[in-house]
Amino acid sequence: MNTTKNSKIHPLAGKKMMGADMIVQVLADENVDTIFGYSGGAILPTYDAVFRFNDAHKKVDGTQPMPLIVPANEQGAGFMASGYARASGDVGVVMVTSGPGATNTVTPIRDCMADSVPIVVICGQVPTTAIGTDAFQEAPVSAIMGAVSKHIFLVTDATLLESTIRSAFELARTGRPGPVVIDVPKDIQNWEGLFKGSGTLPLTGYRNRLNAVMNNNLEEKTCEKFFALLKDSKRPLIYAGGGVINANASDEMKAFASAYGIPIVTTLMALGASDTTKPLSLHMLGMHGTASANYAVDDCDFLINIGARFDDRVAGDPKGFAPNAKKIAHFDVDISEIGKVKQVDWHHVGQLKNDLVNLLAYGKKISHRKSLDQWHTHIAELKEVYKLNYDRKSNLIQPYAVIEEINSLTGGNAIISTGVGQHQMWAAQYFDYKEPRLWLTSGSMGTMGFGLPAAIGAQFAQPNRMVIDIDGDSSIRMNIGELETATTYKLPVKILVLNNFGDGMVRQWQKLYYKGRMSASDKSLHRKDFTKTAEADGFEFSKKLDKKTNLKKIIKEFIDFKGPAFLEVIIDPDAGVYPMVGPGQTYDKMITGQWIANRHDIEDKEVDKSGMF
């Protein structure tokens, strides 16, 4: 067991405690200020310990230091913790019972793993003597979670409980962040022993690999090779991924880009890493990226990948991605991403924040200067000619207009959470994001039902920020029980449902690839009255917007309302997400619809019908 060097002795070291109290004390030591979870028999000792801790440490104003937020469902708790982590950069915490309580968190755990989000999930488990007997509410958590998490611990030695909890936080937040699960049998929670106040598990192999990456600083020769590539380039372009935000390296990336005038495109997960209102920011690239961003990728001669992974929604056809890039560079924290999809000419695996600082320092040392005026002019033309657009004269409410209006009121400073579908892409495209951690979405997993609970978690993490959930009528149904959670805790979260009476993105694909056969995607016969549902769950502001003439007035009321607010907007059911690059296609096959210019004159009917979801 490792002990923390040069640390003060914990004031509670040597005190006799129950295992449950040790869990809670370590959470306090890790500065956890919010727990999301649902109770049950196997986790009751720890829930009681949370109650007693909060009662003993009440603040002067009567508030609890570690409130336990109860959702409608454990999946909601997982997504709340994810929203908390994404909005704050801290580790989100989930605490659930055994069996179904644990298995209900599988989807958010996998979602966090796919998007590299740090959460710690503490699951109650049946007593150690009952494990493997099919006891009441028993589930093989280790077997299930091991496949979807960064790491899983089953605590069978009570003396290792305290160090296991600390190690879980270390694993969750370091390297490539991710979800860590701790399965704690009830008898371990009820065990009594001496609290050590320090110490972690050995984790020798992990720490050795981590230290090798964290200490792998850019050497002068490596910097020299990079700047040789940059010197030979006339059209360099930064392709930034979610790793930039995870590493808290947005400022360093922007400083590097600004120093040498390099334009930036971002993935879906990196929105906000570059201020989307700036001239050299081209917003999002990929399947539903802006046309200007995608064309810039086609036109660049040196692509600089920073914290991205060439995933299939960006590089649908890896061989045809960035076809004019003579050279490609790749920065990452995970060696497995180098060359996994796209071969590169230069790479470095290390601590992104430090690497960018060192790279910029080397550039200053050699006084690197090069005019990119022609490239900047080209970028400005791309942004003007191929800008986002839609039918602004339509009598029906266009979803793009709704988002543009909200954006005009929030100015790129609101936290935006989304479900998954068309509304997700519209929110990605038409909102501005001036800084990191304002954009919360399920990227790699594409989990419907993410938006509402994630917004709730974000509001706990950032109580003074405006948090808006942009959702769809199908996506919000998945976790609609969390409406009550928002009002129960008096959270001023804004929830907007863009209702097109169906699975809009699925229908768009069915029109393109399945000859318009709307198999199970039409929800027009469903009877859900969303505004009444919100009213029943305690929303004092719950309105429906179905007339274009009322758009500006009602949206302003919605944004200005001081408490939880719910707004359903009946939108054009045929509104599509454009641009769109078909699966497995290159950007020169991008379709842009009727209202966005296309330099290749590609129409919907020309889309390759062999594509799959």
Please identify every residue annotated as catalytic: 74, 136-137, 186, 505
- DSSP 8-state secondary structure symbol assigned to residue 582: -
CB 524 within 8 A of CB 501: yes
Q: Are 304 and 233 in contact (CB under 8 A)?
A: no
What single letter denotes the amino acid at residue 407? Answer: N
CA distance 376 to 384: 12
For 244, which DSSP code?
Answer: H
| Strand residue runs (E) in 371-523 | 415-418, 439-440, 467-472, 494-499
Please choose, from the candidates 201, 191, 144, 139, the residue with its C-alpha nearest in 3D space to the C-alpha of residue 168.
Answer: 201
Please give the C-alpha separations between residue 246 and each of 343, 395, 436, in angstroms, as whole numbers: 24, 42, 9
* Order of strands across the sheet that contains 541-545: 439-440, 415-418, 467-472, 494-499, 565-570, 541-545
The C-alpha atoms of residue 471 and residue 451 are separated, in whole angstroms, by 6
Chain centroid to Cα 609, Å, comes to 31
Q: Are 495 and 471 in contact (CB under 8 A)?
A: yes
Sheet bearing 35-38, strands edge to edge: 68-69, 35-38, 92-96, 119-125, 179-185, 151-154
Q: How many Cβ atoms from other residues are within 10 Å of residue 94's Cβ?
A: 30
What is the C-alpha separation between 316 and 303, in angstroms, rounded? 16
Token pair belonging to 600: 């290749």
Residue 222 and residue 236: Cα distance in Å, rounded?
Answer: 18
Pairing type for strands 179-185 and 151-154 reads parallel
